[in-house]
Amino acid sequence: MLLNIQHISKQYSAESVLENISLTLNENRTLSILGKSGCGKSTLLKIISGLVLQDRGDIILKGKNINMLPANLRHIVYMSQEALLFPHLNVFENIAFGLRIKNEKKAMIETKVNHLITRLGLHGHHQKMPQQLSGGQQQRVNFGRSLIINPPLLLLDEPFGNLDTQTRAEMQQLFKQVAGEFNIASIFVTHDIKEALLMGDNIGYMNNGQLKIYETKKSFISDSITGAQQEISFWQTL
């Protein structure tokens, strides 16, 4: 088992954001978490990545408790809706960032970055600055920047939320391919039912700070609270 989260809770002032959350994730698997805005999805991801500290509960990564480990030593990359590329660096340097801070050898950085640039369909954009790229291209660079450090776990917080339908579909496909190729385990948070079903090997539903993990996609669809049935009947009656 790669990740084991046990009884995580978080409160902001008097408001409870996460209540007794537990989940497990195996290597090379993707867990989709569906939930409305403000249900605590982002807080959960930020806790796992070490950006926010939980009030209670344990995070165990590869059998090791990482509760007290700072974000920079966890190597769990958090990707948000916005690509958040470093505005002062070009495409090449943005992707190379994680290797540069580790003082890796120049030749190795060049080989790795160039490989990723080609793999992510960014050939010819090496020298472009973030503001010269489209939303989809920016998210590709963001992927490259995250993948290059070979993280044990990738946390995706509605990463395609800002993209148009077509680009979104392309990125979903690209992510599936890349996740398989790089053997990545990930937690994919979204408020889109179709995306949750498409991206996840396992699926969960989050509401008011509580998470329910479904054993199968079938059980997720048949549960009325997820809204999957309503979605299906909408398309059927159209």
Residues that bind another protein (CB under 8 A): 46, 49-51, 70-78, 80, 82, 84, 86-88, 97-98, 100-102, 145-146, 149
Q: Report, in Å, the least distance between residue 165 CB and another protein.
A: 25
Cα–Cα distance between 18 and 56 in angstroms, integer? 10
Instruction: Tell me the pairing of strands 56-61 and 64-65.
Output: antiparallel
- Quote the least distance from Cβ 72 to another protein, whole Å: 5
Choose between 69 and 221: whose C-beta lies nearer to another protein: 69
Quickly list DSSP for 26-55.
-TT-EEEEEE-TTSSHHHHHHHHHTSS--S
Residue 146's H or E segment, with its range, is helix 135-147
Q: Which is nearer to another protein, 146 or 186 (CB)?
A: 146
Burial of 28 by CB count in 10 Å (0-12 exposed, 13-18 middle, 19+ buried)?
middle
Nearer to another protein, 89 or 198 (CB): 89
> Alpha carbon of 200 to those of 5, 25, 162: distances in Å?
18, 11, 20
Locate 217 and state its tokens. 């996609």
Q: Which is nearer to another protein, 157 or 228 (CB)?
A: 157
Nearer to another protein, 49 or 137 (CB): 49
